Amino acid sequence: MKTNKKLRSAVLSSTLLVLLLIVLSSTALASITETRITTHGTAANPDIYGNKIVWEDTSNGNSAIYAYDLSTKKETHITGNLKQTEPVVYGNKLVYISNGTDVYVYDLSTQKKTLLHSNPPFDVGEPAIYGNLIAWDYVMPDVLDSKIATYDLKTHQSDLFGMGFWEPAIYNKKIAYICYNDNNFGYDACVYDLSTSRDIWFTESGTAHNVDIYGNKVVWDDNRNGNWDIYMYDLSTKKETQITNHGTASNPAIYGNNIVWQDNRNGNWDIYAYDLKTHQQTHATVKSDQVNPAVYGNKIVWTDYRNGKPDIYMGTISYLPVAAFTASPTSGKYPLTVKFTDKSTDVYSYNWNFGDKSTSTVKNPTHKYTKAGKYTVSLTVKNAAGSNTVTKSSYINVAAPVKAPAASFTASPTSGKRPLKVQFTDKSTNSPTSWKWSFGDGTYSTSKNPGHTYSKSGKYTISLTVKNSNGSATKTVSGYITVK
């Protein structure tokens, strides 16, 4: 959805088709499913909200307003007779300009038309709608005296504000617009808060045009460096971001995370899109020429001149999913139960391979490994644009459970004259973690491989007790050490 703008320039010309794979600036891919909405070659200036697309059409001689319902696939001729232009839509409410001087609202559900404002001999234009709030340009003989007019469909209250203001766009109680700046004698993008009756932000470049707003994000095109590029300002973080840098972009619109605009970087006008979440830029159209985009969700509409005359097209954009996951724990003794967590983006379906011939289609599965080994895990994710797979080799390490130890030892020497120094060596198996030696002369040690000196003659019985997490074992050798 956007406020419709008048184009600064376009050299317009020409094909058709349904599914395009477009290379993104980040080298990822997106799928654009393209739908032709009109076929008369007389349609322009579209807007979209939900399943409703509206546009102006000269197929009957005069410029009339048409609507198309994507759910019912039904086209409706809304108006005729006079010159009706610049349609915008929100829900079932359609706003348009009649004969350049009157503002109408049309209810698509009840087919009721209401005149909101009549301003002859002065012009009105650039309407915008959000919820029950409607705004438009109130054009004065001196353009620097022009104001923004508002009308509330619920309270039926109207208002005028500003001086040298035009091109309104609305989100909630915030109105973005272009304003004349006496300090730089230029045009800035501004935001006015109706709830506080205060200007809350404006640019200072003096070269801003075509502003739009969604949430706390404002977009516009700007010629501050001698080239037209798209900029965005976040009202919450107070951060400005330059979206394009080719110097050929204009007429932006924003909805959610998607910013769209027209761009002449390839020598003809095309539609581009940028996803604020994934930071992926999409070349949405490749035929010439496409202009005046509007966006709702992942649907873009535009005026298309690929066949030499203007028609309305719609592109539904789907980003190729990016597979990613984590697991916990990634190592341990069997049976090992592992929780896998999906971290992918833009996904409709999942296919896990756990490396032990087991699979799952659950988003965040739990899997039990019952045998020792190193397991390679892969996740394949899919959406309308295609699929993507991530594989982690030897990601899960499963060890056999530890058995109780078996005690064993040797000693050297095992006989000799006193004082006799003997070195004891542990030979136990199954990974003991503690040792307790009894040397037969009332002394003990907890070392793994202790040394011991016998000072008296005699035959000594040696015992070793070893332990681990699964148990203990003792080995005793009677008369093992002989001291003469």
Residues in a beta bridge with 472: 467
Sorting pLDDT into bands at 50, 70 and 90, what band is 19?
very low
Q: Where in the chain is the domain with CATH 2.60.40.10?
A: 325-399, 409-483
Instruction: Judge whether residue 301 has pLDDT over 60.
Output: yes
Q: How far apart are CA 313 and CA 272, in angstroms?
A: 14
Instruction: Judge whether residue 26 has pLDDT over 70.
Output: no
Instruction: Judge whether residue 15 has pLDDT over 60.
Output: no
353 to each of 65, 108, 181, 356, 417, how far by Cα in Å? Answer: 54, 50, 61, 8, 67
Q: Which residues of 343-373 are buried (b: 16+ CB within 10 A; e: fewer)?
A: ebbbbeebebbbbbeeebeeeebebebeeee
pLDDT tens figures, 223-259:
999 999 999 999 999 999 999 999 999 999 999 999 9
The stretch 407-436 carries a mean pLDDT of 97
Least confident of 132-146, 204-218, 247-261, 418-432: 132-146
DSSP alpha helix (H) spans, 232-323: none
Question: What DSSP element (H or E) covers 91?
Answer: none
pTM: 0.71
Residue, of 396 and 20, whose pLDDT is higher: 396
What confidence score (pLDDT) does residue 4 get? 53
The DSSP output letter for 182 is: T
Sorting pLDDT into bands at 50, 70 and 90, what band is 386?
confident
Starting from the edge strand earliest in sequence, which strands make up the sheet with 217-222, in order? 208-214, 217-222, 229-234, 239-242
Q: How far apart are CA 28 and CA 436, in angstroms?
A: 63
Topology of domain 409-483 in CATH is Immunoglobulin-like (2.60.40)
Q: How far apart are CA 263 and CA 246, in angstroms?
A: 9
What confidence score (pLDDT) does residue 13 get? 30
CATH of domain 325-399: 2.60.40.10
The DSSP output letter for 404 is: P
pLDDT tens figures, 43-60:
999 999 999 999 999 988
What confidence score (pLDDT) does residue 451 get? 98
pLDDT tens figures, 59-102:
888 899 999 999 999 999 998 777 999 999 999 999 999 999 99
Of 241, 11, 45, nearest in space to 126 by CA: 45
Question: Residue 378, Cα to own-chain centre: how many angstroms?
Answer: 23
| Largest separation between any pair of C-alpha atoms in the chain | 130
216 to each of 47, 133, 174, 212, 240, how far by Cα in Å? Answer: 21, 18, 9, 11, 12
DSSP alpha helix (H) spans, 176-274: none
Give 19-319's CATH code, choosing from 3.40.190.10, 2.130.10.10, 1.10.230.10, 3.30.450.40.
2.130.10.10
Q: Where in the chain is the domain with CATH 2.130.10.10?
A: 19-319
Any idea of the CA torsion for 164, 212, 82, 304, to the nearest 10 degrees?
A: 130
Instruction: Judge whether residue 419 has pLDDT over 80.
Output: yes
